[in-house]
Amino acid sequence: MSSPSVASSDIGEDENFFLDFVDIDTNAGTSTQATLMDQDINSNEHARQRRELLDLIIRLQAIGLGTELALPQIACIGSQSVGKSSLIESISGVALPRASGTCTRCPIECRLKRSEQAWEATVYLRFESGKSGYVGKTGEIQFGPRMTERMEVQERIRRAQLAILNPTIQPSTFLDAVENASYPSSRSFSQNCVVVALSGSELSDLNFVDLPGLIANVADDRNVGDIELVKGLVTSYISRPSCLILLTISCESDFENQGAGRLAREYDPQGLRTIGVLTKPDRIERGSEKPWISMIKNETETLHLRHGWFSVKQPSARQLEAGMSWSEARELDEKYFQDTAPWSTIEEEWRKRLGCSNLISHLGETLGKVILSRLPHICDEVDRLIALNASQLESIPPPPSLDPLAQVLQLVNAFTRDVTHHVQGDPRSGRPGLVQSLVISAKAFQEDLRQITPVFQPTNKTENAGALDTPNFLPPGEEWPSRSEKGLTYWLEDVVELAEGARTRELPGEFPFAVTEELVTRTLELWRQPVRDIFGRAERVFVQRLTTLVETHFGQYTHGGLRAAVL
């Protein structure tokens, strides 16, 4: 059974829930609201609680409920070549595929966990039904054994991405292929996800997803559709109000020239859930530092973000090729901002906005608050989905009977009893039956007949007769008409003329029954339409109720033809 679809309006997605977070003052590092940001985020009780919250989100993500429940997460976005992959590597400590054609082509979810055990990494593939052509069961599958060497991770991710891009091929095909084997991908990008789970003593508790870089141009016209494809993939994440946007902006190009910034402002116009990161600060031309410093200080009104801006310095391509380690890259990052002007001369309160370590602290703290704020909504929605699935399970018919004739007879008998009950109704239960539901139709029928009832006046038409007394045989409240609304008034001379014209051999003062029969027949001819109307209303009500009963009793037997036979 597929998981039930949940509309965003059903789960209470609302930008306003971000306003309930414990605010982190982005304009004053000396504020008392800095609290846990000033502490070691990996060594206090609050960090333990955050780890438990992250584990909960991971378990829900693993079974494919990420979109069903709008689970909080951090999505890293940026245009191509802005240093986004280097930023992810600085945070996670593992290298991503960089060779031509192997850039990020599907979401890569990184799960970092602080552990006193030795460093290790495990890669998973998460396929979600209906995404990018995948039609199997939603869930995660482990892709290869655990790794204890960092250098193994890059190649494993490359192979995992190939498996994601080719969902019709067994993943083991890519896992066991020779190292330099290449496969033509059936898709250029995919919504399905590679998951990289890392644990080690030097890591911080943090979960985030790296999305493919936004494309501005393509070299081949055949791939022009990739521009909108990637944009749609990124939008599917950042359009959720429960998603924190980690916006990567390169300092070697103006903000206005980078599509990721425009996209973030489109889906987070007030900057409530965007965290800005400036990369490549060493590429800023001398004398052009002021606008970037203003962004770090959150002084630029049009670029103001509630969570502010950070800046990081990653190793250059030459340094990476030379084999610079993760710890050396962290030292380079810290040393750059300590020794390089104008970053080294920035006010103390903004120093916490520089360097990868400060960024990681802020990300972990903020994500924990998002999860904590969202948790009651998640619990309510999980309860609703459980109840919905339980209801769906109850609707599954029992196994086929060993005596089908007896089972059909039982179904027909139960259906017959239910039809009788619905026809007769049960006034004590407050549920009217078919007969009771036709009372209104009967009253309408009565009014129709009243309008075509002939009026007999015991005077001639030329006489000025007054209003007649109401006969005593009429029930209370019923009026005695003196004129017919349909022109069916019979005056005394009309009846006498009809009677005289019908006389044959009757005794004096007697008239044939044909006179009465003629008058009755004239009236009954006018009854045809009202009778059709009341029977039509009765038929519609009965068919509607009968169809509902057929679905109740025989709806589970569509494939065998029993339901169709009854209908």
The domain limits of the chain are 94-202, 404-530
Residue 35: pLDDT over 50: no
Higher pLDDT, 447 or 199: 199
Residue percentage of the chain with pLDDT more than 70: 83
Residue percentage of the chain with pLDDT more than 90: 29
Higher pLDDT, 513 or 472: 513
Q: What angle do CA 130, 133, 138 make, to 5 degrees?
A: 45
Q: Supply the pLDDT for residue 72.
A: 92
Q: Supply the pLDDT for residue 300.
A: 85
Q: Are 330 and 356 in contact (CB under 8 A)?
A: yes
Residue in 8, 211, 189, 202 with CA at minimum distance from that of residue 93: 202
Rounded-to-integer distance, Cα 399 and Cα 406, Å = 14
What confidence tens digit (pLDDT) does each residue in 151-175 have? 999 999 999 999 999 888 889 999 8
User: Rounded to an integer, what is the distance from CA 529 to the centroid of its chain?
Assistant: 51
What is the amino acid identity at position 492? Answer: L
Average pLDDT over residues 528-535: 87
Structure tokens at 286: 């001398």
Q: Supply the pLDDT for residue 239.
A: 93
Total residue count of the chain as it appears in this document: 567
Residues near 347 by beta carbon (within 8 Å), at least 6 away in sequence: none
**E strand or H helix at 1, and its extent?**
none
State the pLDDT confidence band at 21, using cuts at 50, 70 and 90: very low
Q: Supply the pLDDT for residue 530.
A: 87
Residue 88: pLDDT over 70: yes
Q: Supply the pLDDT for residue 132.
A: 55
Q: Supply the pLDDT for residue 200.
A: 92
What confidence tens digit (pLDDT) does each residue in 459-499 have? 777 776 666 667 777 777 777 776 776 767 777 788 888 88
Residue 196: pLDDT over 90: yes
Average pLDDT over residues 367-372: 91
Q: Supply the pLDDT for residue 467.
A: 61
Residue 49: pLDDT over 90: no
Mean confidence (pLDDT) of the chain: 81
Residue 532: pLDDT over 80: yes
Residue 28: pLDDT over 50: no
Beta bridge partners of 193: 126
Structure tokens at 220: 């081949």
* Terminal alpha carbon distance of the chain: 27
Residues near 50 by beta carbon (within 8 Å), at least 6 away in sequence: 41, 205, 364, 365, 367, 368, 371
Residue 34: pLDDT over 50: no
What confidence tens digit (pLDDT) does each residue in 328-358 have? 888 888 999 998 888 989 998 899 999 999 9
The full DSSP string for 179-227 is TT-----S-S--SSEEEEEEEETT--SEEEEEPPPBPS--SSGGGTHHH
What is the amino acid identity at position 50? Answer: R
State the pLDDT confidence band at 234, using cuts at 50, 70 and 90: very high
| For residue 342, cis peptide bond before it (omega within 30 degrees of 0) | yes
Higher pLDDT, 287 or 185: 287
Q: Supply the pLDDT for residue 427.
A: 61
Q: Supply the pLDDT for residue 25.
A: 38
Q: Supply the pLDDT for residue 384.
A: 92
Which of 8-12, 122-126, 291-295, 432-436 is least confident?
A: 8-12
